Structure 1
Amino acid sequence: MESIITVRGNVKHTITLDPTVWIFDDRKIDLTTYFNAPQIEKDEDEEYKKSMGKHWSREIMEGAIFPPTLKTEKKFDRQKMVTGTFGILLNPFLKNAVPNEDAKTITFKSADNHEETFPLSDAENFIFKFSQDGKPLKEDGPVHLLFKDGSNIENPLKEIRSITIE
Protein backbone atom coordinates (compact mmCIF):
# COMPACT_ATOMS: atom_id res chain seq x y z
CA MET A 1 0.00 0.00 0.00
CA GLU A 2 1.27 3.42 -0.96
CA SER A 3 1.04 5.79 2.00
CA ILE A 4 2.16 9.02 0.31
CA ILE A 5 -0.54 11.47 -0.81
CA THR A 6 0.25 14.23 -3.30
CA VAL A 7 -1.36 17.66 -3.36
CA ARG A 8 -1.08 19.16 -6.83
CA GLY A 9 -2.87 21.18 -9.46
CA ASN A 10 -3.59 24.88 -9.26
CA VAL A 11 -1.14 25.46 -6.38
CA LYS A 12 2.16 27.28 -6.04
CA HIS A 13 3.83 24.26 -4.40
CA THR A 14 3.14 20.61 -5.13
CA ILE A 15 3.51 18.83 -1.79
CA THR A 16 3.45 15.27 -0.52
CA LEU A 17 1.83 14.13 2.71
CA ASP A 18 3.03 11.14 4.71
CA PRO A 19 0.32 10.04 7.20
CA THR A 20 2.66 7.56 8.87
CA VAL A 21 4.44 10.37 10.74
CA TRP A 22 1.35 12.25 11.91
CA ILE A 23 1.15 10.18 15.10
CA PHE A 24 3.94 12.42 16.43
CA ASP A 25 2.34 15.67 15.23
CA ASP A 26 1.08 17.99 17.98
CA ARG A 27 -1.87 18.95 15.76
CA LYS A 28 -3.38 15.45 15.76
CA ILE A 29 -6.96 15.10 16.97
CA ASP A 30 -8.29 12.33 19.19
CA LEU A 31 -11.30 11.17 17.16
CA THR A 32 -12.77 9.16 20.03
CA THR A 33 -13.71 12.43 21.75
CA TYR A 34 -13.62 15.02 18.95
CA PHE A 35 -17.18 14.58 17.68
CA ASN A 36 -18.68 14.34 21.20
CA ALA A 37 -17.02 17.37 22.80
CA PRO A 38 -17.83 20.99 21.94
CA GLN A 39 -15.23 22.46 19.58
CA ILE A 40 -13.39 25.65 20.42
CA GLU A 41 -12.02 27.38 17.34
CA LYS A 42 -8.47 28.69 17.80
CA ASP A 43 -6.52 30.89 15.45
CA GLU A 44 -3.08 29.26 15.39
CA ASP A 45 -1.37 32.47 14.28
CA GLU A 46 -2.96 34.41 17.13
CA GLU A 47 -1.99 31.71 19.65
CA TYR A 48 1.59 31.80 18.36
CA LYS A 49 1.74 35.60 18.66
CA LYS A 50 0.44 35.46 22.23
CA SER A 51 2.93 32.80 23.28
CA MET A 52 5.82 34.67 21.66
CA GLY A 53 4.70 37.88 23.37
CA LYS A 54 4.73 36.14 26.76
CA HIS A 55 8.13 34.63 26.00
CA TRP A 56 9.53 38.01 24.93
CA SER A 57 8.15 39.73 28.05
CA ARG A 58 9.60 37.04 30.29
CA GLU A 59 13.03 37.36 28.66
CA ILE A 60 12.99 41.11 29.13
CA MET A 61 12.02 40.80 32.80
CA GLU A 62 14.04 37.71 33.78
CA GLY A 63 16.61 37.21 31.06
CA ALA A 64 16.96 34.25 28.75
CA ILE A 65 16.99 30.79 30.29
CA PHE A 66 18.98 28.14 28.43
CA PRO A 67 18.55 25.20 28.13
CA PRO A 68 14.81 24.77 28.73
CA THR A 69 13.84 23.11 31.97
CA LEU A 70 12.38 19.64 32.05
CA LYS A 71 8.97 21.08 32.95
CA THR A 72 8.61 22.63 29.48
CA GLU A 73 9.47 19.51 27.50
CA LYS A 74 6.68 17.80 25.60
CA LYS A 75 5.73 14.36 26.88
CA PHE A 76 3.74 11.85 24.86
CA ASP A 77 1.18 9.52 26.34
CA ARG A 78 2.61 6.29 24.95
CA GLN A 79 -0.46 4.22 25.87
CA LYS A 80 -2.78 6.59 24.05
CA MET A 81 -0.52 6.60 20.99
CA VAL A 82 -0.67 2.82 20.65
CA THR A 83 -4.41 2.50 21.29
CA GLY A 84 -5.90 5.78 20.06
CA THR A 85 -7.89 6.73 16.96
CA PHE A 86 -6.49 9.90 15.44
CA GLY A 87 -7.05 12.39 12.66
CA ILE A 88 -5.53 15.65 11.54
CA LEU A 89 -7.03 18.77 9.98
CA LEU A 90 -6.30 19.08 6.26
CA ASN A 91 -6.39 22.89 6.01
CA PRO A 92 -2.85 23.63 7.36
CA PHE A 93 -1.37 21.37 4.67
CA LEU A 94 -3.39 23.08 1.96
CA LYS A 95 -2.15 26.45 3.19
CA ASN A 96 1.41 25.18 2.69
CA ALA A 97 0.60 24.21 -0.90
CA VAL A 98 -0.65 27.82 -1.44
CA PRO A 99 -3.65 27.46 -3.77
CA ASN A 100 -3.67 30.10 -6.52
CA GLU A 101 -6.24 32.90 -6.44
CA ASP A 102 -8.36 31.32 -9.17
CA ALA A 103 -8.52 27.86 -7.49
CA LYS A 104 -12.13 26.90 -6.84
CA THR A 105 -12.37 23.15 -6.15
CA ILE A 106 -10.60 20.35 -4.34
CA THR A 107 -10.81 16.78 -5.67
CA PHE A 108 -9.93 13.65 -3.72
CA LYS A 109 -9.01 10.61 -5.80
CA SER A 110 -9.17 7.14 -4.28
CA ALA A 111 -7.27 3.96 -5.15
CA ASP A 112 -10.05 2.75 -7.48
CA ASN A 113 -9.97 6.12 -9.34
CA HIS A 114 -13.22 7.26 -7.72
CA GLU A 115 -13.23 11.06 -7.38
CA GLU A 116 -15.10 13.36 -5.02
CA THR A 117 -15.02 17.11 -5.66
CA PHE A 118 -15.84 19.86 -3.16
CA PRO A 119 -15.59 23.66 -3.18
CA LEU A 120 -12.16 24.75 -1.98
CA SER A 121 -13.87 26.96 0.60
CA ASP A 122 -15.00 23.76 2.38
CA ALA A 123 -11.38 22.64 2.96
CA GLU A 124 -11.38 23.97 6.52
CA ASN A 125 -14.04 21.37 7.35
CA PHE A 126 -11.99 18.29 6.39
CA ILE A 127 -10.22 15.88 8.73
CA PHE A 128 -7.94 13.07 7.59
CA LYS A 129 -8.34 10.02 9.82
CA PHE A 130 -5.01 8.18 9.76
CA SER A 131 -5.16 5.79 12.71
CA GLN A 132 -7.70 3.35 14.15
CA ASP A 133 -7.08 1.81 17.59
CA GLY A 134 -3.39 2.66 17.43
CA LYS A 135 -2.84 1.13 14.01
CA PRO A 136 -2.37 2.85 10.65
CA LEU A 137 -5.21 2.37 8.16
CA LYS A 138 -3.63 -0.34 6.00
CA GLU A 139 -6.69 -2.08 4.51
CA ASP A 140 -8.57 0.97 3.23
CA GLY A 141 -6.11 3.79 3.91
CA PRO A 142 -3.75 5.54 4.14
CA VAL A 143 -6.42 8.08 5.17
CA HIS A 144 -10.17 8.50 5.39
CA LEU A 145 -11.78 11.86 4.70
CA LEU A 146 -14.11 12.97 7.51
CA PHE A 147 -16.16 16.14 7.84
CA LYS A 148 -15.69 18.26 10.97
CA ASP A 149 -19.38 17.94 11.81
CA GLY A 150 -19.12 14.13 11.85
CA SER A 151 -21.87 13.70 9.27
CA ASN A 152 -19.93 11.09 7.27
CA ILE A 153 -18.25 9.24 10.11
CA GLU A 154 -20.10 6.03 9.21
CA ASN A 155 -19.30 6.29 5.49
CA PRO A 156 -16.09 8.30 4.90
CA LEU A 157 -14.24 8.59 1.62
CA LYS A 158 -11.52 5.93 1.89
CA GLU A 159 -8.24 4.98 0.18
CA ILE A 160 -7.35 8.56 -0.79
CA ARG A 161 -4.25 8.61 -2.98
CA SER A 162 -4.13 12.17 -4.34
CA ILE A 163 -5.59 15.64 -3.95
CA THR A 164 -6.01 17.99 -6.88
CA ILE A 165 -6.77 21.69 -6.54
CA GLU A 166 -8.45 23.19 -9.60
Structure 2
Amino acid sequence: MIVPIKGKVTYPITLDPSVWIFDDRKIEWELAFTDGSNVLEDDENDLKRASERWEKEVSEQVKPPVNRSIKRYERDKILKSSYVIPLEDFLNHAEINADATEAVLIREIGNVTIPLVELFNSYFLFSKDGKPLRTDGPVHLYYKDGTNKNNPITHITGISIQ
Protein backbone atom coordinates (compact mmCIF):
# COMPACT_ATOMS: atom_id res chain seq x y z
CA MET A 1 0.00 0.00 0.00
CA ILE A 2 2.94 2.37 -0.59
CA VAL A 3 3.70 4.49 -3.66
CA PRO A 4 7.35 5.35 -4.34
CA ILE A 5 8.35 8.42 -6.35
CA LYS A 6 11.68 7.77 -8.05
CA GLY A 7 13.61 8.52 -11.22
CA LYS A 8 14.85 12.01 -12.02
CA VAL A 9 14.42 13.35 -8.49
CA THR A 10 16.89 14.61 -5.92
CA TYR A 11 15.12 12.79 -3.10
CA PRO A 12 13.27 9.55 -3.91
CA ILE A 13 10.34 9.38 -1.51
CA THR A 14 7.79 6.80 -0.50
CA LEU A 15 4.16 7.81 -0.06
CA ASP A 16 1.91 5.95 2.39
CA PRO A 17 -1.74 6.60 1.45
CA SER A 18 -2.98 4.88 4.62
CA VAL A 19 -1.89 7.86 6.76
CA TRP A 20 -3.37 10.59 4.55
CA ILE A 21 -6.72 10.25 6.29
CA PHE A 22 -5.10 12.29 9.10
CA ASP A 23 -3.53 14.83 6.71
CA ASP A 24 -5.04 18.33 6.70
CA ARG A 25 -4.39 18.63 2.94
CA LYS A 26 -6.98 15.99 2.10
CA ILE A 27 -10.07 17.14 0.21
CA GLU A 28 -13.45 15.47 0.01
CA TRP A 29 -13.82 13.90 -3.45
CA GLU A 30 -17.14 15.66 -4.04
CA LEU A 31 -15.56 19.07 -3.36
CA ALA A 32 -12.32 18.51 -5.27
CA PHE A 33 -13.78 19.34 -8.67
CA THR A 34 -15.85 22.40 -7.69
CA ASP A 35 -14.80 26.01 -8.09
CA GLY A 36 -14.29 26.42 -4.35
CA SER A 37 -17.22 28.75 -3.63
CA ASN A 38 -19.10 26.03 -1.73
CA VAL A 39 -16.02 25.31 0.37
CA LEU A 40 -15.77 28.98 1.34
CA GLU A 41 -19.44 29.08 2.32
CA ASP A 42 -19.06 25.90 4.39
CA ASP A 43 -16.03 27.39 6.16
CA GLU A 44 -17.95 30.59 6.91
CA ASN A 45 -20.92 28.59 8.23
CA ASP A 46 -18.62 26.49 10.42
CA LEU A 47 -17.01 29.64 11.79
CA LYS A 48 -20.41 31.19 12.49
CA ARG A 49 -21.59 28.04 14.35
CA ALA A 50 -18.38 27.94 16.39
CA SER A 51 -18.80 31.63 17.26
CA GLU A 52 -22.40 31.07 18.35
CA ARG A 53 -21.35 28.07 20.44
CA TRP A 54 -18.62 30.16 22.09
CA GLU A 55 -21.02 33.01 22.87
CA LYS A 56 -23.49 30.58 24.41
CA GLU A 57 -20.81 28.97 26.57
CA VAL A 58 -19.48 32.32 27.78
CA SER A 59 -22.87 33.89 28.48
CA GLU A 60 -24.51 30.86 30.08
CA GLN A 61 -21.40 29.28 31.60
CA VAL A 62 -22.39 26.00 29.98
CA LYS A 63 -19.61 23.52 29.35
CA PRO A 64 -20.88 20.87 26.95
CA PRO A 65 -18.51 18.17 25.70
CA VAL A 66 -17.78 20.14 22.50
CA ASN A 67 -14.48 18.44 21.66
CA ARG A 68 -15.92 14.95 21.96
CA SER A 69 -18.86 15.89 19.73
CA ILE A 70 -16.59 17.34 17.08
CA LYS A 71 -14.32 14.32 17.16
CA ARG A 72 -17.27 11.94 16.83
CA TYR A 73 -18.65 13.94 13.89
CA GLU A 74 -15.25 13.94 12.16
CA ARG A 75 -14.76 10.22 12.77
CA ASP A 76 -18.18 9.42 11.31
CA LYS A 77 -17.49 11.67 8.33
CA ILE A 78 -14.10 10.02 7.69
CA LEU A 79 -15.67 6.56 7.81
CA LYS A 80 -18.22 7.47 5.13
CA SER A 81 -16.46 9.93 2.78
CA SER A 82 -14.11 9.61 -0.17
CA TYR A 83 -10.94 11.71 -0.17
CA VAL A 84 -8.27 12.95 -2.58
CA ILE A 85 -4.96 14.64 -1.87
CA PRO A 86 -3.10 17.04 -4.18
CA LEU A 87 0.24 15.76 -5.47
CA GLU A 88 2.07 19.06 -5.79
CA ASP A 89 3.55 19.11 -2.26
CA PHE A 90 4.91 15.58 -2.55
CA LEU A 91 6.47 16.30 -5.93
CA ASN A 92 8.05 19.51 -4.62
CA HIS A 93 9.57 17.60 -1.68
CA ALA A 94 11.12 15.08 -4.07
CA GLU A 95 12.77 17.97 -5.97
CA ILE A 96 12.28 16.90 -9.55
CA ASN A 97 15.25 17.52 -11.88
CA ALA A 98 14.91 20.40 -14.34
CA ASP A 99 15.33 18.11 -17.37
CA ALA A 100 12.38 15.85 -16.42
CA THR A 101 9.38 16.11 -18.73
CA GLU A 102 7.09 13.18 -18.02
CA ALA A 103 5.93 10.75 -15.37
CA VAL A 104 5.38 7.05 -15.75
CA LEU A 105 2.59 5.80 -13.53
CA ILE A 106 3.64 2.28 -12.61
CA ARG A 107 0.68 -0.10 -12.60
CA GLU A 108 0.17 -3.84 -12.36
CA ILE A 109 -1.95 -3.78 -15.52
CA GLY A 110 0.37 -1.67 -17.70
CA ASN A 111 2.16 1.60 -17.17
CA VAL A 112 0.76 4.97 -18.25
CA THR A 113 2.94 7.93 -19.26
CA ILE A 114 1.66 11.47 -18.68
CA PRO A 115 3.31 14.91 -18.98
CA LEU A 116 4.89 16.13 -15.75
CA VAL A 117 2.67 19.22 -15.78
CA GLU A 118 -0.43 17.02 -15.61
CA LEU A 119 1.00 15.12 -12.65
CA PHE A 120 1.49 18.40 -10.77
CA ASN A 121 -2.15 19.26 -11.51
CA SER A 122 -3.55 15.99 -10.18
CA TYR A 123 -5.07 14.38 -7.13
CA PHE A 124 -4.64 10.91 -5.71
CA LEU A 125 -7.85 9.28 -4.53
CA PHE A 126 -6.84 7.20 -1.53
CA SER A 127 -10.11 6.56 0.30
CA LYS A 128 -13.48 5.59 -1.16
CA ASP A 129 -16.50 5.51 1.14
CA GLY A 130 -14.14 5.60 4.11
CA LYS A 131 -12.12 2.57 3.01
CA PRO A 132 -8.66 2.20 1.43
CA LEU A 133 -8.51 1.21 -2.24
CA ARG A 134 -7.41 -2.40 -1.86
CA THR A 135 -8.64 -4.03 -5.10
CA ASP A 136 -7.71 -1.37 -7.66
CA GLY A 137 -5.35 0.87 -5.68
CA PRO A 138 -3.58 1.83 -3.57
CA VAL A 139 -4.34 5.13 -5.35
CA HIS A 140 -6.26 6.48 -8.35
CA LEU A 141 -5.12 9.55 -10.29
CA TYR A 142 -7.62 12.32 -11.11
CA TYR A 143 -6.78 15.49 -13.01
CA LYS A 144 -7.77 18.63 -11.09
CA ASP A 145 -9.79 19.90 -14.06
CA GLY A 146 -12.03 16.82 -13.78
CA THR A 147 -11.48 15.61 -17.35
CA ASN A 148 -11.03 12.02 -16.18
CA LYS A 149 -13.50 12.22 -13.29
CA ASN A 150 -15.46 9.24 -14.62
CA ASN A 151 -12.40 7.31 -15.81
CA PRO A 152 -9.45 7.72 -13.40
CA ILE A 153 -6.09 6.03 -13.79
CA THR A 154 -6.26 3.14 -11.32
CA HIS A 155 -3.94 0.44 -9.92
CA ILE A 156 -1.07 2.92 -9.41
CA THR A 157 1.75 1.39 -7.34
CA GLY A 158 4.54 3.87 -8.11
CA ILE A 159 5.69 6.92 -10.05
CA SER A 160 8.87 7.15 -12.11
CA ILE A 161 9.87 10.66 -13.17
CA GLN A 162 11.53 10.63 -16.62
Does the aligned pair in 1 maintain the 2:91–2:120 contact within 8 Å? Answer: no
Alpha-carbon distance in 1 for matches of 2:125, 2:148: 12
Q: TM-score, normalised by structure 2?
A: 0.75
Deviation readout 1:3-54 (Å, 9 max, x if unpaired):
011100010011100000000000001012222x3137xxxxxxxxxxxxxx
Give the match for residue 34 of structure 1.
32
Alpha-carbon distance in 1 for matches of 2:134, 2:116: 28
Alpha-carbon distance in 1 for matches of 2:80, 2:145: 24
Give the match for residue 103 of structure 2.
106
Larger radius of gyration: 2
Give the match for residue 45 of structure 2.
none
Summarize the alignment of residues 116-155 of structure 1 with structure 2, pairs less than 5 Å apart.
Answer: 116-155=112-151
5+ long unaligned stretches in structure 2: 38-65
Does the aligned pair in 1 maintain the 2:4–2:14 contact within 8 Å? Answer: yes
Alpha-carbon distance in 2 for matches of 1:99, 1:39: 29
Give the match for residue 162 of structure 1.
158
Alpha-carbon distance in 1 for matches of 2:122, 2:82: 16
* Equivalent residue for 1:5, pick from 3, 6, 13: 3
Does the aligned pair in 1 maintain the 2:87–2:123 contact within 8 Å? Answer: yes
Say whether 1:97 aligns with 2:104: no
Alpha-carbon distance in 2 for matches of 1:149, 1:157: 14
Q: Secondary structure at the match of 2:79?
A: helix
Alpha-carbon distance in 2 for matches of 1:15, 1:31: 25
Identity of aligned residues (%): 43
* Equivalent residue for 2:21, pick from 17, 20, 23: 23
Aligned length: 129
Quick one: which amino acid aligns to residue 79 of structure 2?
V
Cα RMSD after superposing both structures: 1.6
Alpha-carbon distance in 2 for matches of 1:132, 1:121: 26
1:124 Cα deviation from its structure 2 partner:
2.4
Structure number with the higher helix fraction is 2
Moved segments of 4+, more than 3 Å? none
